Amino acid sequence: MSVKSANIGYPRIGENREWKKVLELFWSDQLSEEQFETEMRELRLSHLRKQKEQKIDLIPIGDFSYYDHVLDTAVMFGLIPERFKKEENQVSLRTYFEIARGSKGKVASEMTKWFNTNYHYIVPELKNANPKLSENRLLKLYLEAKEQLGINGKPVILGPITLLSLSKGIDDQKRAELLTSLIPLYIHVFKELKDAGAEWIQIDEPILVKDVKGETINELKQVYTEFNREVPDVNFVLQTYYESIELYETIIQLPIQGIGLDFVHDEGVNLEHLKNHGFPSEKFLFAGVVDGRNIWKSDLVNQSFLLKEVLNVVQLDRLIIQPSCSLLHVPVSVEKEKELPTQIKDALAFADEKLTEVTMLTEFYNNNLSIAELEQYGHARNLLQHSEYRNVQEVKEAMENIKGYSTERSNTLNRKKVQAERFHLPVLPTTTIGSFPQSKEVRKQRLKWRKGELSDQEYEIYIQNEIKRWIDIQEELGLDVLVHGEFERTDMVEFFGEKLEGVIMTKFGWVQSYGSRCVKPPVIFGDVHCLGEMTVKETVFAQTLTDKPVKGMLTGPVTIVNWSFVRDDISRTEVLNQIALAIRKEVELLEEHEINMIQVDEAALREGLPLKEEKTEGYLNAAVHAFKLATSSVKEETQIHTHMCYSNFDDIIHAIDALDADVISIETSRSHGELISSFEKHHYNKGIGLGVYDIHSPRVPTLEELTQNIERALEVLDYHAFWVNPDCGLKTRGETETVEALKVMVEAAKAFRSKLSIVESV
């Protein structure tokens, strides 16, 4: 009798972001389709080879994607939006990428956050959907791994219940019809995998950790009964992650052979389920005991104790040890981080190291590793815990006196009046979210500076020249409120990660955010505080170049926390408040330098929402408090802005109001204005900008599109409070398309001003 190991998913991007480079070369027509496929195959096989070398028993197949695994599943089953449908027997790469990125005359599919992670998925559109199997991509990938590497892998597919739950464009009746249509297609895929030799198939149903509805029980029984009946000779593992599952007693009785549970992010609930309700002796438990979402070394001794409790319920030979979720959310390997302080580096574990942890725990339970070896592995964690990094007296005193900091501003109406007199803005003022295109030249100059090939003074002059050039462009375009462009910043969170004490940046710690967009989350390893100015110099310089207001641009505490790898020895709320106080200092410094419009972005506020409804208010209260802690010490005339993107805000509109920002900008273009309905039900008396065009697509919007978006917004919003802006920062866009798009946006705003002026004069 022995314990086995498994993995749920592996990062796609490669140690040096090779995946991103291949994608972008293909998109720019520098690689043929054949070259693209060859490069991607080599990368895919290298990932599988690594897992084989790590002695993982059940290696996932099909977790590798060219863009997004939800899109992969939708395309495989012919769930193509109407505007992208073509006469193709098999969906071409061109069509696949058009759905994700848009094309001339065709708006890209909506993109939103994958559960409560920092990963974005493409939302399937199911209006008029007629499912059909276009290609069994899993069979192709399974055979590739088997023939090339001798790996009898574990094919991975997004389950039908989660697929439908994450889609749009269907009501309950249509959902039931589509589910009935999808079941035989899944079965066809599974039968071909079984015939090819697959022994295990992983069906991801993470929707089961949310507050699922009662009818989900019937769907579960329908789907998995048919799967088991039609494909009886394959072992199905129903995989969940990110939280404890709902409907535990129902799920363990389903006719499946394995169940995957997260024992890291479940707050002990999955273990309690196990103890209280038992576990079927004939089933396998895939125990997620290594944190797949954070980058700290596991306390393997503690996790071995957890597994010991599991083994009081589950037979030893029915236990399979794995990460808590796909390793998609962490970087690839710590090995290359040569520049990190040893004390910090030694406490880190990225994807490859987490597979080592899985193997170590498996070896321990197979009596090939001692408890002393597990203890030695955790030594670095203990050293960091007792280091000066986590014992800063100034921060500890601030946290003890946190209630002494003000979090309230004066009446909203008073502030509106004072700010109107201060800024004299036109109706429907135009602005941008903050960043402008980071060209190859900008990145080249930054790299030269980091390598010491440019002096600090030379680099500063270069950045100032870019700021001046874009201030001139904004003036020429006719924008009303300007920004300095953020050319000194690599990323809205990374930049602050480099400025704040207690936070550090890795060199190769990249993770996928959406498409080819990769980010390096800061590592919050110690007590966070600020020693000096972070943004004042560039913002003040920009303001000297124009009479129009220039916004100070900061990232808010909630977003910094949600987009970072956060220390796991104290509560996230305490980390949140530490960062809020650091941002508060910078807000006050900007105001002292007469920057009276300050944008504190909370792009990630909603994505941090707990998956369980009963935990929502606690999170929102902590988030609102941190934002107000960061922004509430300014004068009435200082206008606080914030920005949020890619979320459904219906359920948190009260929290958005409670932030008490003077102006908020929210994405609505890619969700095709659906958010606006929120404001039909909720009176919002502050300034608001609803993003009028999608910056994640390379296409330039038409005047007609922007006119429709503005018209729809003004049906429910007071035009005196309405701002016109893109839906997000413009860093990833090209200069020409950015200027052209903003030109259309300003034209649309001015046309509306003329209409409103005529109406008011009548």
* Mean pLDDT computed over 169-179: 93
- For the ranges 59-73, 631-645, 721-735, 746-760, the maximum mean pLDDT occurs at 59-73
Average pLDDT over residues 491-496: 90
- Determine whether the annotation assigns residue 607 to a binding site: yes
DSSP of 429-472: -B---SB----HHHHHHHHHHHTTSS-HHHHHHHHHHHHHHHHH
Answer yes or no: is 113 a known binding residue: yes
Would you call 696 a catalytic residue per the annotation?
yes
Of 102-116, 351-365, 671-685, the poorest mean pLDDT is in 671-685
Every domain of the chain with CATH number 3.20.20.210 lies at 1-55+240-386, 415-756
735 in a known ligand binding site: no
Residue 505: DSSP 8-state: -
Quickly state the pLDDT bin for 518 (edges 50, 70, 90): very high
Residue 19 assigned as binding residue:
yes
pLDDT of 34 higher than 70: yes
List Cβ neighbours of 239 (8 Å cut-off, separation of 6 or more): 8, 156, 202, 203, 204, 205, 206, 260, 286
Do 570 and 392 meet the contact criterion of CB atoms below 8 Å apart? no
Assign 3-class secondary structure to 392-432. Answer: CHHHHHHHHCHHHCCCCCCCHHHHHHHHHHHHCCCCCCECC
pLDDT of residue 648: 62
Residue 409 reports pLDDT greater than 90 = yes
**Residue 486 marked ligand-binding:** yes
Q: Check whether 47 has a pLDDT greater than 50.
A: yes
Range in 98-112, 388-402, 647-661 with the lowest mean pLDDT: 647-661
**What are the residues whose beta carbons fall under 8 Å from the beta carbon of 483, sequence distance 6 or more?**
431, 432, 433, 434, 435, 436, 474, 542, 550, 551, 553
| Amino acid in position 481 | V
pTM of the predicted model as reported, rounded to 2 decimal places: 0.90
**Segment 696-708, tens digit of pLDDT:** 777 888 999 899 8
- What pLDDT, on a 0 to 100 scale, did the predictor assign at position 213? 78
Task: Answer yes or no: is pLDDT of 382 > 90.
Answer: yes
Q: Are 121 and 70 in contact (CB under 8 A)?
A: yes
Residue 435 annotated in ligand binding: yes
Q: What is the pLDDT of residue 651?
A: 75
83 is in an annotated binding site: no
Q: Are strands 120-122 and 663-667 parallel, antiparallel or unpaired?
A: unpaired
- Burial letters for 379-400: b for 16+ Cβ neighbours within 10 Å, e otherwise? ebbeebeeeebbebeebeebee
- The per-residue pLDDT of the chain, averaged, comes to 93
Mean pLDDT throughout 197-205?
98
Whether residue 176 is predicted with pLDDT greater than 80 in this model: the reply is: yes
625 is in an annotated binding site: no
Question: Tell me: the pLDDT tens digits for 610-626?
Answer: 999 999 999 999 999 99
The pLDDT confidence band at residue 293, using thresholds 50, 70 and 90, is very high
Q: What is the pLDDT of residue 603?
A: 87
Interval 448-462: pLDDT, tens: 999 999 999 999 999
17: annotated binding-site residue?
Answer: yes
State residue 123's pLDDT score.
96
pLDDT grade for 196, boundaries at 50, 70 and 90: very high
Is residue 759 very low, low, confident or very high in pLDDT (cuts 50, 70, 90)? low
Confidence of residue 674 (pLDDT cuts 50, 70, 90): low
pLDDT category of residue 178 using cuts at 50, 70 and 90: very high
Query: What CATH code would you report for 1-55+240-386?
Result: 3.20.20.210
Q: Please answer whether residues 119 and 512 qualify as being in contact, where contact means their C-beta atoms are separated by less than 8 angstroms.
A: yes
Q: Which residues contact 730 (CB under 8 A, 6 or more apart)?
A: 432, 433, 435, 436, 437, 695, 738
Under the banding of pLDDT at 50, 70 and 90, the label for residue 680 is: low
pLDDT at 762: 39
Give the whole-number percent of the chain exceeding pLDDT 90. Answer: 83
**Has 450 been labeled as part of a binding site?**
no
Q: Residue 691 above 60 pLDDT? A: yes
- Residue 612 structure tokens: 């369980």
Average pLDDT over residues 192-211: 97
For 235, list phi and psi in degrees, rounded to 5.
Answer: -90, 120
CATH class of 415-756: alpha beta
For residue 368, what pLDDT is reported? Answer: 93
Q: Residue 643 annotated as binding?
A: yes
Return the higher-pLDDT residue of 103 and 297. Answer: 297
Does residue 204 have a pLDDT over 90?
A: yes
| Beta strand 111-113 pairing with 120-122 | antiparallel
The answer, yes or no, to whether residue 155 has pLDDT greater than 80, is: yes
What pLDDT is recorded for position 761? 46
The response to whether 296 counts as a known ligand-binding position is no
612 annotated ligand binder: no
pLDDT 10s digits, 50-87: 999 999 999 999 999 999 999 999 999 999 999 998 87
Residue 512 backbone dihedrals phi, psi, to 5 degrees = -75, 135
Which residue in 47, 424, 696, 720 is the catalytic one? 696
Query: Is 299 a residue whose pLDDT tops 90?
Result: yes
563 carries a ligand binding annotation: yes
